[in-house]
Amino acid sequence: MPELPDITVYLEALEKRILGRVLEHVEIQGLLLLRTAVPPVTAVEGKKVVALRRLGKRICIGFENEVWLVFHLMIAGRLHWREGKPKAGAKRSARSRTLASFQFSNGTLSLTEAGTQRRASLHVVAGEDALNALDPGGEEVFEISEERFAEILQSANHTLKRALTDPRLFSGIGNAYSDEILFAARLSPLALTQKLTPVQIHQLYEATREQLRTWVKRLRDETGSAFPEGVTAFRPEMAVHGRYQQPCVRCGTKIQRIRYASNETNYCPHCQTGGKLLADRSLSRLLRSDWPRTVEELENLKAPQKATR
């Protein structure tokens, strides 16, 4: 799903296109998209956009009447921009993935969602208090000191992966960029937060800020003046995320993964876990004591066994 770097670039693109513009018409096509009833979504028709904001992993569009459209794109939701007025009489395909359209005088902003699961959401709220009620409360890593970062990180004894992606702790970090952060910091995703040394916390703090800053710049450079249509959780430039079984860019060891529910964590066993394989829940339960503990054991398990007489 879009995270801090992706949403930052989305907002910059939207600022150039809709800030100061009047929203002429809204059409909601996805039955499950709109999650609120009051105020009605039509409350923003005929109103000027006066603010754009990121709230965790949400995109917020504020209007002159203090009503906000708050989008959470989840895994497969994407925003698109088409310049100019829609063609008169144009019909929407029955198989279209478009869930909502927002017509401005200079173009149309639309929201699509791939797949059959409808997880993307739109909230329409009035006022700052209602907007802030949607904030999970995580702090912005660019706005806190290393000491505050350590305090939040060690407020409970969780794994690093869970702590980084908990929206109540840190804002805007999800599955993809947490993998990249932990690789850059050379830390295991399953390391426990309250067992980290001051040196490791410093590595993580610096890696978190550096990776998010780096990816914002990369996405800006990649997008240029265009609208960011290519938002995705998997990018070829990533070091570990989505690169299972591919060689580590640092040491050449094959990237491994832990799978859980619909997510997976990718890591380098040489750079991050001292050669130890982290147990994949589904496979480790199946293999039990036969689960390989190191990369070498895994390779031996995969190697064809010589026939014996």
Q: Which of 23, 20, 62 is nearest to 45 (CA)?
A: 23
Check if 4-132 and 146-296 are the same fold.
Answer: no
Do residues 52 and 15 make contact, with C-beta atoms less than 8 angstroms apart? Answer: yes
Identify the band that residue 281 occupies on the pLDDT scale cut at 50, 70 and 90: low
Q: Is the pLDDT of residue 290 over 60?
A: no
DSSP string, 12-48: HHHHHHHTT-EEEEEEE--TTTB---SS-GGGGTTEE
Q: Is the pLDDT of residue 95 over 60?
A: no
- The residue-averaged pLDDT of 57-66 equals 97
pLDDT tier at 7 (50, 70, 90 boundaries)?
A: very high
With b for 16 or more beta-carbon neighbours within 10 A and e for fewer, the 116-151 pattern comes to eeeebbbbbbbeeebbeebeeebeebeebeeeebbe
For the chain, the structural domain boundaries read 4-132, 146-296
Q: Does residue 282 have a pLDDT over 60?
A: no
Looking at the domain 146-296, which fold is it?
Helicase, Ruva Protein; domain 3 (1.10.8)
Whether the per-residue pLDDT at 309 is higher than 50: the answer is no
Average pLDDT over residues 119-138: 96
Mean pLDDT of 57-85: 94
Q: 4-132: which CATH topology?
A: N-terminal domain of MutM-like DNA repair proteins (3.20.190)
- Which pLDDT value is given to residue 287? 40
Q: Which of 31-35, 144-148, 196-200, 278-282 has the lowest mean pLDDT?
A: 278-282
Q: pLDDT by residue (tens digit) across 251-276?
A: 999 999 998 766 789 999 999 999 99
* pTM: predicted TM-score of the whole model, two decimal places: 0.88
% of the chain at pLDDT higher than 70: 86
State the Cα torsion 143-175-219-226 to the nearest 10°. -110
